[in-house]
Amino acid sequence: MLAFQRKLAEFDALGIRVAAASVDPREAAEKTVERYGLMFAVGFGLGVREVAAMTGAFFEEKDGYLHATGFIVNPEGTVMNAVYSSSAIGRLVPEDCLGLIKHLMQE
């Protein structure tokens, strides 16, 4: 999330909103926002099984967390890109997102 915060001005310049969500409780999400100085929306308290069922995200049954899942969604609500991780690597990074968004805006 910190990497997206660092590039937030570039997303803003394109009219793109950044958002994150987590299964963490409110208190944990607020600590993350404070720790990294996040200036974008951060949701909290998502249900692991519900999100996995709706999005196809992988989740860790034993520890009750979702693996990183990222989406680029256009203004009409269509998913233009999705990245599903099943371990510690494989996430959207802001540079790749900005590049794809700029490309899609030119089409």
CB 85 within 8 A of CB 58: yes
pLDDT for residue 7 is more than 90: yes
In a 10 Å sphere around its CB, with 0-12 CB exposed, 13-18 middle and 19+ buried, how is residue 4 labelled?
buried
H or E segment and range at residue 95? helix 94-106
User: What average pLDDT does the chain have?
Assistant: 95
User: Is the whole-model pTM more than 0.75?
Assistant: yes
Structure confidence by residue, pLDDT tens digits, 54-83:
999 999 988 889 999 999 999 999 999 999
Length of the chain (residues): 107
CB 23 within 8 A of CB 46: yes
Q: Can you give the CATH number for the domain in which 14 is found?
A: 3.40.30.10
Spatial CB neighbours of 68, under 8 Å, sequence gap ≥ 6: 83, 85, 90, 91
pLDDT at 105: 94
How many domains does the structure of the chain reveal? 1
Residue 74: domain span: 2-106
